[in-house]
Structures are given as C-alpha cells and as structure tokens.
A and B are shown apart, each in its own frame.
Chain A
Amino acid sequence: MKDIVLSIQGLTKRYGSITAVNHLDLEIERGSVFGILGPNGSGKTTTLGVLLDVTRPNAGTFTWFGNPPDKAQRKKIGAILEVPLFYPYLSGKQNLEIVARIKDLPGEDIDQALKTVDLYDRRDSRFRTYSLGMKQRLALASTLLGKPEVLILDEPTNGLDPRGIAEIRNIILEVASHGVTIILASHILDEVQKTCTHMAVLEKGKKLFSGPVGEVLNDAQWVELAADNMANLQLALNQVDFVENIQEEGDKYIIKIKGSLSQAELNSYFFNKGIVLTHLALRKKSLENYFLELLDKS
C-alpha cells in the first residue's frame, strides 16, 4: 500500500478576481522528493501557504499523514516559505531556539544544524548582519531541527550564487537520502530535474501534469541521427511508424521517438535497411522542452 504523506483535494484559493490555485488535487508519497514546478505566479507559494495554515483556502481539503491539518502535524514539517523569516535583532542561534521551543524540541541539535549549514562560526551574530546566502542557510537549518518527516522548500536557492545553489542542493540531497519526504517548489527546471523523483507542473493555479520525473523524461526521447547518405536516411525515417517528429539541425536529423527503443535497436533497424549511421546520440530531453510543450498544449 502506498504511504501517502500529503493528500490534497480540490484546493482553490482566490484573491479577488484572480484564481491563484484552481481545484488542485495532489498526492505525495513518503520518501519522495516532489518538485512543484511552475513559472512565477502559478500558485506554488499559495499552495504551500495553505498547506502550512498561513493562507486560508476558499475551497478544498487536505490531509497531512492521513490526518486533518493542525499544529501537531506542522511540528513534523520543516518549511521555508519564499524568504527567510526571522527576528533581525536576534542571533542565528537565538532564532533557532525560538523555533525549537515552538516545535517542542529540546534544542540539543541546534549546534549540529548550524554546523550542517556552515553557520556555526556566526551563530551569535545578529540575523540582520547575515548575507542573503547565510539567511537562506539559517532557514534551512531551522527546517532540519528535530528530524522532520517532511521538508517544504519554496524556491530555496532563490537569489543565491552558483556556489550557494550547489551547497543548498547538496544539503537537500543529503537530507533526502535519509528518507525524508521533500516538497520543493521551483521555477527552475534544472533544479527539479537534478533533485526530484516526482513532480507536478502548475500553470495559473492548475495542475498540468504530475508523476515521476523519470516518466516525464522517458515518455518520449529525442535522438540525433546522421548518415553518409542523408537522403536515404530521410526516406527511411518517413516510412517508419515510431518516429513522431523529425527536425533537421545542421547535418543531423533530430527525431522524436514514440515508446522506448534502445540505441542498439535503432542502429540495427537502420543497418537492416542498408543505412550506415555515422552518428547516433540520445538527447536527454530537458524539462524545459517538456514544460514548454505542456504550456503549449494547455
């Protein structure tokens, strides 16, 4: 049986005439790294806000760990929403002590959390003196307190430099390797692709797709082909039924293949037709392409 950590049914949130989240249904399994992907303003933060009781929905219900939401469930969740939210006049450590007290934690792991995000040396500096990267890392440290069952991260690498992004990503992967369920909202395709196992795509508050990231990447693959005799190759391509789309790019054809065919199968197919391929390469389809396709369809 599937162990569902979060289940959302028909969630709707309107701001005046704008529908920020539109009848959203979603299920997230324990242990998955779930990416919520969508452009800015697609309803990601609003959805997470509702899940954390910061935003009041107009309609719909959701359950955490199979229970109706309340503060006891939220104590098992570590979350970052948009920007780091701390008392600027308190030190990093004092801020974490408040979080620990709210979550009914003894606070023994505060130092450890600060070390994990590399802030231990600055633990007694006031929050307002931190750089943006340090603020983000403190927010991450606060989510790690007390070994949460679920991590909610809303644009965790927003505004960070490449090194900061890599650091945060490594921490996320490290945490995920311990079986923590992670919900990651992002408008950066690369981020979702590199860290997530499952994903949902949102656009204008509507869910366009949800499923395993692998499925997104494999449901169609793009292959680069070239042969000595390009005319023959084109002729052959026009006859086969597994090709969905053909594009010419320089001296190569880029074809989109329905279903799954291995490179070896492809090669032998053309060889049997008397065409010797001089180039055969699998093009990993990026989420970016997929995302644009989804947006076009809707």
Chain B
Amino acid sequence: MIKLVQIELRKILPYKMFWVMSGIYMLSLIFFSYGLPSLIDYFTMKSDVPEIKLLMKFLYNFPDIWQNLAWAASLRFFIKIFIGMIMIILVTNEYSYLTLRHNVFNGLSRTDFLLSKVYVAVILSLAATLLIFLTGTVLGLLYSSTISMEAYFGKMIFLLGYFVEILTFLLFSLMIGILVKRTGFAIGLLFVYPILEIIVQQKIPESIQPYLPLNAMNHVIRTPNTSLIQFSSPEFNVDLQTGLNSMDIFVALLYAALFIGVSLWVIRKRDL
C-alpha cells in the first residue's frame, strides 16, 4: 500500500494542473462557506414564502456549523464537481499518456493500478474533509456565539458523513474515468449525469428514488434542520436532517464498493 501511495505521489505532486484545480476547489469552498450567509439572505429576501425564517447570525454557531458546512460542500452541482474533475483527470491522464500500459508492463498488476487510484480517492477525501474542518474551526471561532469544548465537538460527526459522501463521489468519478478513458468525455459525463439522474428519478416509484447513486450519496448529508434553515411551521413537511443515519452511510458505502467493483472488473477485462 505504501509503495502504491508513493508512486501516486510521485505522479501527482509535481503536476501543475493538479495544484491549479485544487486551488480552485479550495478557494471556492472557502469563499462559499464564508459567503453562505449573504447568499441565503439574498434568496430569502427574494422568497415570498413567509414561513422560512432565517436565523442568519447562528449559521456559524458551534456545533451546527459542521452540519451546515458539510451540507454546503456536498451540493451535487457545485463545489464537489471540481474535486471530481481532479479525480477524473488523474485517471484519464494514464490513458491519454498511455502510462497505464507502462505501469502495468513494468510490474504493476491491473488490480494494483486500480488500488493506487482508490488510495488517491481516499487521500483527496481526507484532504477535503480536513479543509472543512479548518474552515469550520476558523469561522466558528470568529463568529460562534457559544464556544466550548462540548459545542465544538458536538456535531463533528458530520465530518465523517462528509468524508463518506465525498469518497463515494470520488470513487464514482474514478469509475467514470475508467469507463470513458477520455478526459473531455469523462468530465462531460460528470456534469451530465446528475441531470440524467433527475430525469430518471421522475419516472420511478418514490420509494426507490433515494437509492439512485447520487441521491444515495447526497442522502448521507441532507438539508440540515439547523439554524441554516428553520421552519417555523411544523406542517411544512420536508425531509430535514438532525443527525447522521447509519443506514444512509451503509448505502453510500455499498455504492462505493460497487464503483470499485465495476472499475476493477472493467480494468481486468479490457485491453489497456
């Protein structure tokens, strides 16, 4: 395992494109987190639903801040796409440079190769989670109305939820990269797939809708029932989340395993 990680680091660390993309990802996550209050303000001002009452100043309160930031970072059409693109480029590069072949005939097995990319997905997920942890710590210490050890660690479990979700998403991106092989098409599919899933969703029974891949991932961290959005009216019946659900995590991890399985099957079967 250490060997495969070392090899990947040798490929990735000197790669300028990787740092540019990571920079875009980090900056957009930080700015979005910081600008979230004003953004929501803007939308609620435009909204004519009186039931929605924002408690803006509590957004960065410990412990809810963890849930709020994790939710914002996991929106399917937004920031997450950048890190998915990084994952795809790191995989499809190996096809376009034909270095996948070179790696294999120099003595990596096909399984080794896939494993090394899975490790990359884990490392990127850890880094993304760490980024939210740091952003949350800084914003919380600056703006939280209550600062105590208990409040600080209160909902930190949502970082684990975020890790599971982003890891599943990156393994999904990895699978797309391996299936499609071409960088442009793979990234295109990453953008188009969420739309396709929404179309499919309209045509299937409601009971299985949450189990579509992206829905399942996103279900780990749902719209938070925190200070981010509070409903004064109880009859406003929306799926709001107060804590992590172990079943959601299990389903997401099942998908993660499936994505790895499909990738492995394809890479073992196909000519490289």
Question: Do the beta carbons of B99 and A87 come within 8 Å of each other?
Answer: yes
Q: Does A54 contact B (CB under 8 A)?
A: yes
Question: Do the beta carbons of B107 and A104 come within 8 Å of each other?
Answer: yes
Residues of A within 8 A of B205 (CB): none
Question: Do the beta carbons of A102 and B7 come within 8 Å of each other?
Answer: yes
Question: Do the beta carbons of B107 and A98 come within 8 Å of each other?
Answer: no
Given known A52-B104, A86-B97, contact A71–B112 (CB-CB < 8 A): yes
Question: Do the beta carbons of B105 and A77 come within 8 Å of each other?
Answer: yes
Q: Does B35 contact A (CB under 8 A)?
A: no
Q: Which of A86, A88, A101 contacts B10 (CB 8 A)?
A: A101
CA distance A99 to B7 in the complex (A): 9
Chain A nearest CB from B85 CB (Å) reads 17
Q: Which of A85, A88, A97, A104 contacts B102 (CB 8 A)?
A: A85
Q: Does B15 contact A (CB under 8 A)?
A: yes
Q: Does B11 contact A (CB under 8 A)?
A: yes
Closest partner residue, chain A, to B268 (CB atom): A56
Residues of B within 8 A of A90 (CB): 10-11, 14
Residues of A within 8 A of B148 (CB): none
Q: Does A81 contact B (CB under 8 A)?
A: yes
Per DSSP, chain A at the interface is loop
Q: Does A94 contact B (CB under 8 A)?
A: yes
Given known A85-B97, A94-B14, contact A101–B105 (CB-CB < 8 A): no
Question: Do the beta carbons of B7 and A101 come within 8 Å of each other?
Answer: yes
Question: Do the beta carbons of B15 and A89 come within 8 Å of each other?
Answer: yes
Chain B nearest CB from A249 CB (Å) reads 48
Q: Does B3 contact A (CB under 8 A)?
A: yes
Q: Does A75 contact B (CB under 8 A)?
A: yes
Question: Do the beta carbons of B105 and A74 come within 8 Å of each other?
Answer: yes
Number of interface residues of B (CB under 8 A): 28
Chain A nearest CB from B100 CB (Å) reads 9
Q: Which of A83, A88, A89, A99 contacts B106 (CB 8 A)?
A: A99
Contact with A along B88-105 (1 / 0, CB 8 A): 000001000111011111
Q: Does B269 contact A (CB under 8 A)?
A: yes
Question: Do the beta carbons of B102 and A86 come within 8 Å of each other?
Answer: yes
Question: Do the beta carbons of B108 and A98 come within 8 Å of each other?
Answer: no
Chain A nearest CB from B117 CB (Å) reads 15
Number of interface residues of A (CB under 8 A): 30
Question: Do the beta carbons of B105 and A54 come within 8 Å of each other?
Answer: yes
Residues of B within 8 A of A30 (CB): none
Given known A56-B270, A98-B10, contact A75–B106 (CB-CB < 8 A): yes
Residues of B within 8 A of A97 (CB): 10
CA distance A101 to B93 in the complex (A): 19
CA distance A52 to B109 in the complex (A): 11
Question: Do the beta carbons of A81 and B105 come within 8 Å of each other?
Answer: yes
Using a CB-CB cutoff of 8 Å, which residues 43-93 of chain A contact chain B? 49, 52-56, 70-72, 74-75, 77, 79, 81, 83, 85-90
Question: Do the beta carbons of A74 and B107 come within 8 Å of each other?
Answer: yes
CA distance A101 to B102 in the complex (A): 13
CA distance A103 to B106 in the complex (A): 6
Given known A74-B107, A101-B10, A102-B7, contact A56–B102 (CB-CB < 8 A): no
Q: Which of B11, B16, B17, B271 contacts A98 (CB 8 A)?
A: B11
Chain B nearest CB from A204 CB (Å) reads 19
Chain B nearest CB from A62 CB (Å) reads 14
Q: Which residues of A contact B (CB under 8 A)?
A: 49, 52-56, 70-72, 74-75, 77, 79, 81, 83, 85-90, 94, 97-99, 101-104, 142
Could you name 8 residue pairs across A and B whose Cβ atoms are closer than 8 Å? A54-B272, A71-B109, A79-B105, A85-B98, A90-B10, A90-B11, A99-B106, A103-B107
